[in-house]
Amino acid sequence: MNGYGTLTDGLAAALDVRTGVSVREIEWRDSLVRAAADDETFEADLLVSSLSLAVLKRGAITFAPGLPAVYRAAIEGLDFGLSEKSVMDFEAPFWPRDRDVIIRASEDGCFSLFFNNHYPASGDAFLTARVLGRNVPAFVELSDEAATNQVMDALKDMFGAGLPEPRRVKRSRWLHDPNSAGAYSVDRLGVPSFDHRSVLAVPVSDRFAFAGEHTHPCYPSTVHGAYLTAKRAAYALLG
């Protein structure tokens, strides 16, 4: 399994992709568009911004001129969800080998931790622990050792004491990554998001449009949704 890298490598093969460049300002004028980073400025005829919703919500990017009120309201009206992963490599599975997902119901009634079992797909004794929502902020503050202990305690709850320790653990801290600051857009509780996403789907001008999972009215929070929005924005601007 090579993951989504296979898709992005293929898409990027014919393009000039710059990584490690942090955009600070997007200037969208009738005559041109510019994206300004710390040390360089990119000037173009057309600009598609796929900055994540969290980056837009944080106000980390200056827009010149400022975004129209309807776009600001749409960005404000959506929420950004939290999700972190700990991938654990064990000597051999001690859990049901044929189950794709294992869920632990916590005492407060929420599914606070669930596990993806990689064994059916790859034959690897990998479990990915997923920590979601309100449990994330405390979890990302834990040391690697404490985080693994917490996940192992959950597994021991389900499968009994005396479990083997993982050989290797790799964990995310997307909440603390300034370029993601979380996982993906979510609806605000009780507020349908369709209208906000539909606003963001419309190009801001003839030269400037938004893309990204948060701008797809029907398939938000997914890779295919994000992919489709990029095509939509490109076709809209190219006419």
Ligand X SMILES: Cc1cc2nc3c(=O)[nH]c(=O)nc-3n(C[C@H](O)[C@H](O)[C@H](O)COP(=O)(O)OP(=O)(O)OC[C@H]3O[C@@H](n4cnc5c(N)ncnc54)[C@H](O)[C@@H]3O)c2cc1C
Task: Kindly give the residue spans of alpha helices, DSSP state H, lying in the chain.
Answer: 5-12, 53-57, 69-77, 119-122, 136-141, 144-159, 194-201, 223-238
In the complex, what is the shortest distance from the CB of residue 47 to ligand X, in angstroms, rounded to a whole number? 12
In the complex, what is the shortest distance from the CB of residue 24 to ligand X, in angstroms, rounded to a whole number? 7
150 or 163: whose CB is closer to ligand X? 150
125 or 226: whose CB is closer to ligand X? 226
User: Which residues contact ligand X (rule: CB under 6 A)?
Assistant: 22-23, 50-52, 55, 83, 85, 179-180, 183-184, 212-213, 221-224, 226
Peptide bond into 164 cis (omega under 30): no
In the complex, what is the shortest distance from the CB of residue 89 to ligand X, in angstroms, rounded to a whole number? 18
148 or 185: whose CB is closer to ligand X? 185
In the complex, what is the shortest distance from the CB of residue 92 to ligand X, in angstroms, rounded to a whole number? 25
Residue 37: both structure tokens together = 């980073």
Cα separation values, 51 from 75, 96, 156, 187, 210, Å: 12, 39, 40, 18, 8
25 or 124: whose CB is closer to ligand X? 25
In the complex, what is the shortest distance from the CB of residue 226 to ligand X, in angstroms, rounded to a whole number? 3
Instruction: Give the residue among 32, 23, 70, 14 at the shortest CA–CA distance from 50.
Output: 23
72 or 173: whose CB is closer to ligand X? 173
Q: Are strands 185-186 and 168-171 parallel, antiparallel or unpaired?
A: unpaired
Q: Using alpha carbons only, how large is the chain's radius of gyration in Å?
A: 21
55 or 237: whose CB is closer to ligand X? 55
Contact criterion met (CB below 8 Å) for 84 and 131:
yes
Those residues whose C-beta lies under 8 Å from the C-beta of residue 134, and which sit 6 or more positions away, are: 82
In the complex, what is the shortest distance from the CB of residue 161 to ligand X, in angstroms, rounded to a whole number? 29
